[in-house]
Structures are given as C-alpha cells and as structure tokens.
Structure 1
C-alpha cells in the first residue's frame, strides 16, 4: 500500500487526486483547512469501498503559517514509515500583499516556504520509498531571473505577477535541491493544460472572481479530468528520477539559467536565514 500525502487535498484538483488514490487502495493523508470538506470527500468514496475511511487521514493546517507546516512535518515523521508520493497543491490566491500573524508575506510562505519545509523536512521518508515522487503544482516556465534574492517577500514593488513568477521559479530551484539530496526522486513541476474548475479560494478582486467563474464554467476542465496526467505520472511503473516539467500531459522544457545550482543553494540559505 502506497502512502500519498496531498496538500490542498479537500478542494478541486487535490480532492480529485485524493478520491482517486483512496479508490486505488492507497493510504492518503490530506492536509487542508476544512474537516467538513474532508469528511464529505471520504463519504463520497466509502460508498464504493468501506475500507477507504480507515486509509484516510486529515491534518488541519494553514500552510501560510510556518508553524503549521513544521507541525505537519513533525506529525508525518512520527506516523509514517515512508512517503511514496507527495503532491503539493495547496492554494489561496491573493492579488495584494498580505502579512500573516507570524509577520510573513502570505503568498510567498504558502506557495514556496511551506513546500520547501515539506520537501526538505520529509526527505528521509521520501528516501525510504522505492520510487518516490513529488508533484509540485507550481506552473513551470518562469524566467530564470524571476527571483529577487534581496527581497524574497517583495516588501518593495509587490505585484501579483511578480509574486507569482517568483514563487514558480523558486519551486523549480527546489527541485534541484531535492534531487541532489535524493537522485532516485522524481520531482515534477506541473500545471494544468487549461483552467480547472474549482471553488477558487482566495482574496481577489471582483474582476478575477467573475472571470474565473465564467471561464471556469464555460471552458474549465472538471478536476478529475484535469488531474488525469498527474495520475498517469504517479501510477507509472517507474517514473523517471530527476526533474521534469509538464503542462497537462505534455512534457515541457525546463527553464535553465546560467547559475541554477548556485541559485538553488543561495535560495536555500536565504530561506533558512528567514526562518531562524
């Protein structure tokens, strides 16, 4: 039985993956903010397989808080022998800069720092799996120079576009750190081929909300269809170790910078310094 950990696993694509994995007979740990949504997810599966409830676990966490990410890591280290698949899908879109109760920028913390803590903190459990896979739903393709190492939380000149590009590039560099630590790890940065329907959790303006509702309804994929390429990746007999990037089912070229290894090491040092 595989152990699959999914952040953002109570909504949208994360929930679709959780349902598939439970039906496939896996042990599934869902990390999210709503116990009620988790209970509804499990109930939707147990009609077909009553054993699903015994294989499903919920960890309540707000991953825009460093303390919650660290608590999740500690719990998993204490209760798992290994992690076969780690899916990083938690999302809460903010158009404006927001400071958490910990005094940190919320989007940077949720979309990168939490992932950094999970990938690095759970390295030993991923290393214990026969063919470990990390799927990071940070859409690939950000410019190699998208990171401002001197202002990772964008205290100056914050825009939604800059924040998004910075997080995405950081997550590609995280793949370098993760696969250097474990050459057997398959680390995939992935984005859907087109808009996926979801509840669109976030603090955004009316225009973005209306646009997402309209285009999601008219053009968006159902979450279970959107995640089919992820399912094919993690269910493959032997996912190729190393880094890869996909849009939907299409493999795309990884962005290569002139100093990727140095940038990855610099990013790790900068984040560790931030967290002290």
Structure 2
C-alpha cells in the first residue's frame, strides 16, 4: 500500500486523484481547507462499497499560505508516516492583486512556492524511503529563465498577476533541482491541457470568473478524465526533472546558472521564513 500526500485534495483534479487512489486501496493524506468537502468525498467513496476508506484516508486542515500551518502539517506527516511514496502539490487560491498574510508574506508567493518548498525539503527523507518516489507539482512549465527577481521575491514593487505567476512557475522549476539531489526521485512539473471542469477558488476579476463559470463546464475536461495522464506518470515515473502539459512531455527551459540559482533561491527563502 502506497502512502500519498495530496494538497488541494478536496476539489478539482486533487480530489479526482484522491478518489482514484482510495478506490485502489492506497493510503492518502488529504490537505485542504474544508473538512466538510473531505467528509463528503470519503462518504461518497465508501458508499460505492470500497473497503476501509475511513481507515486509509486522513485529513489535515491547512491554509498553506501560512508558514505556521505548513510547519504544523509537516510535523503531523512526519509524526505519522515513515515513508511517502507520492507528494501531489495541487493547492490553489488565485489572487489577481497583491495580498499580504498575517505573517507578513505575499500570499500567492507563499502558497504557490514557499509551501511547496517546505513540503519538498521537509519530506525529502520520507520520500527517499519509498521505492519509486514521485513529486507531482501543479505548476505550468515553461517559464522564462529570467522570470525570477531574486532581489524582490515577494514583489513588493511593481506587482502584477503576470509577474507573480511567472515568478512562482520559475521558482518551482528550480525547486526540482533541489528535489532531485537524490537520483531516485521523480519531479514532475505539470499543467493540464486546456480547461478542467472545477470550481475556482480565489479572488479574481470578471474575465477569469467568466472562463471558470461559463467556459469550463462547456468545453473543459472532467477532473477524473484530466488526471489520467498523472495516474500513468505515478505508475511509471520518469527519473529526474520532467515537465508535462496533459499527456505530452514538454521541454524545461534550462539556464546556464540553474544550479547556482536553485541554491540562491534556497538560501533566500530560508532567510525569509526564519522568523515565521
């Protein structure tokens, strides 16, 4: 039986992966903000006659834009599990405007990168203990190599949604360098192909709301269909850093200083959260 951790596991593609693996007999730690959604998900699977669902499903309520919640989550996982086979980083809350958390960090940067950094580095020894460890990071690949502003990681100046998005995506590609120091670990940077029928969590404007509410139900894939390429990747993981859009493997953008940039990012993030 594999042990899996899925952030953003109560909705959308995260929930679809949770359903698939609970039906398949695996043990799943679901991280989210709604206990009610988790209970409904587990009850629906149990109603199908799937055995021992309650025993194999574990919920941890977290706001992953908060460093303290991330650290509590890590403590919880490390205290209960000696091995993590699969880490799925799918938590999402889209903000078009800059927002500062009560801890003083820019919320999107904290959620879409720092929380992932903490989980990847904090669970490294648990993943190395697995036979075929896989990190699946929902972060659309293909950011430009110069997208990251090392002098202003939280974009205190000249914030825009586009810059914030590019910054997070590039940082998550560099995170793969840190994650794959052990050659047995597979680190997949992943973006779905096209729209997916899912609710949109976030504070967004009318254009994005229109696309989510009107277009996605009409032309988007169902989450259970959209995760099929991910299930295949988890079953037969490629080694090292790779990137996919839907079922298609796509190239990562490689800079001449990637290794140095990854170490620099590591140092800057550690310094920025040391007091949190």
- TM-score, normalised relative to structure 2: 0.98
CA distance in 1, matches of 2:111, 2:160: 16
Aligned residues: 273
Matched residue, 1:247: 245
Q: How does 1:48-197 map to 2 (within 5 A)?
A: 48=48, 49-180=50-181, 182-197=182-197
Matched residue, 2:36: 36
Matched residue, 1:16: 16
CA distance in 2, matches of 1:159, 1:212: 21
Pairwise CA distance, 1:207: 2.5
Instruction: Work out whether 1:227 is the aligned partner of 2:202.
Output: no
Instruction: Work out whether 1:202 is the aligned partner of 2:191.
Output: no
DSSP 3-state at the match of 1:100:
coil
Pairwise CA distance, 1:210: 1.6
Q: RMSD across aligned C-alpha pairs, in angstroms?
A: 0.7
Counterpart selection for 1:264 from 257, 262, 265: 262
Contact 2:109 2:164 in 1 (8 A): yes
Instruction: Work out whether 1:215 is the aligned partner of 2:210.
Output: no
Give CA deviations for 1:56-84 in whole Å, capped at 9, x if unaligned: 00000000000000111111111001000
Contact 2:199 2:212 in 1 (8 A): no
- Which runs of 5 or more residues in structure 2 are unaligned? none
- TM-score, normalised relative to structure 1: 0.98
- Which runs of 5 or more residues in structure 1 are unaligned? none
DSSP 3-state at the match of 1:87:
strand
Give CA deviations for 1:85-108 in whole Å, capped at 9, x if unaligned: 000000000000000011110000
Contact 2:180 2:240 in 1 (8 A): yes
DSSP 3-state at the match of 1:243:
strand
Deviates more, 1:217-226 or 1:139-148: 217-226
CA distance in 1, matches of 2:253, 2:197: 28
Runs of 4 or more above 6 Å deviation: none
